Amino acid sequence: MDALRVIRDRRQAATLLQGDRPKLLAQLRLPASATLLAKRLELPRQKINYHLRALDQAGLLNLVEERRARNCLERVFQATARTYVISPEILADLGTTPEEVRDRFSSAHLLAMAGRTIRELGALREAAAEAGKPIATLGLETQIRFASAADRAGFAEDLQQALATLIARYHDEAAPNGRTYACQVGLYPSIPD
């Protein structure tokens, strides 16, 4: 089971989001049969089987085992991932890019950046999995409390200058074996717990 899977296919996304299927996938973090799921979720076993078939056909389940239970063949499934993220690329022309949202200080620009990150990392994860290689990434996250809007603006300016200095120090356009990396920084109000 993967820790996280990026859904990049419209049919998979539609299958995943239909009816009780997100609940089923959450329950299937651990292997279970339709009978067990029907008891847990208090739903008819036939309905559970219908959804399990659809999820299995969409490639969102792994068959763990088949076993005889009375006169039936009981199938035990597990979700392919612990969590799922749906890539914005599924929206095709309805999506946007940071270049289309020119105001770098808008939430729309930051969301477009986040969407690009999901889209690109989803593609990179698939390619890396096929090649059997890891992806070199770095994620930093923190919170900062500003005393005033002026302090926030000052921080943004200092951060831009610090990043420009770091980029100038390490960026080498002519490196023959170099590899280009995307670097994003976002700042938004945190949501209280």
Residue indicated by tokens 């950046």: 113
Give the per-residue pLDDT at 149: 94
pTM assigned to the model: 0.78
**Same-domain status, 41 and 104:** no
**Same-domain status, 80 and 7:** yes
Q: Which residues pair with 67 in a beta bridge?
A: 74
Contact between 119 and 89 under an 8 Å Cβ cutoff? The reply is: yes
Alpha-carbon gap, residue 76 to 68, rounded angstroms: 11
In a domain, 117, yes or no: yes
Task: Judge whether residue 78 has pLDDT over 90.
Answer: yes
Going by C-alpha positions, the residue among 16, 11, 9, 8 that lies closest to residue 119 is: 8
**Same-domain status, 60 and 135:** no
**Same-domain status, 98 and 157:** yes
Last residue of a domain, one of 62, 84, 106: 84
Task: Judge whether residue 169 has pLDDT over 80.
Answer: yes
In a domain, 25, yes or no: yes
Q: How far is CA 170 from CA 26, 152, 175, 178, 183, in A?
A: 43, 27, 11, 11, 13
Last residue of a domain, one of 35, 55, 84: 84
Range of the domain at 53: 2-84
Confidence tier at 60 by pLDDT (50, 70, 90): very high
Confidence tier at 104 by pLDDT (50, 70, 90): confident
Confidence tier at 5 by pLDDT (50, 70, 90): very high
Going by C-alpha positions, the residue among 94, 100, 90, 95 that lies closest to residue 123 is: 90
Q: Stretch 144-165: mean pLDDT, rounded?
A: 95
Domain count, the chain: 2
Listed in sequence order, the DSSP H helices in the chain are 10-17, 21-27, 34-41, 45-57, 107-131, 149-170
Task: Judge whether residue 19 has pLDDT over 80.
Answer: yes
In a domain, 148, yes or no: yes
Look up the CATH number of the domain holding residue 68. 1.10.10.10
Give the per-residue pLDDT at 24: 95
Average pLDDT value over all residues in the chain: 92
User: C-alpha 172: how far from its chain's center?
Assistant: 31
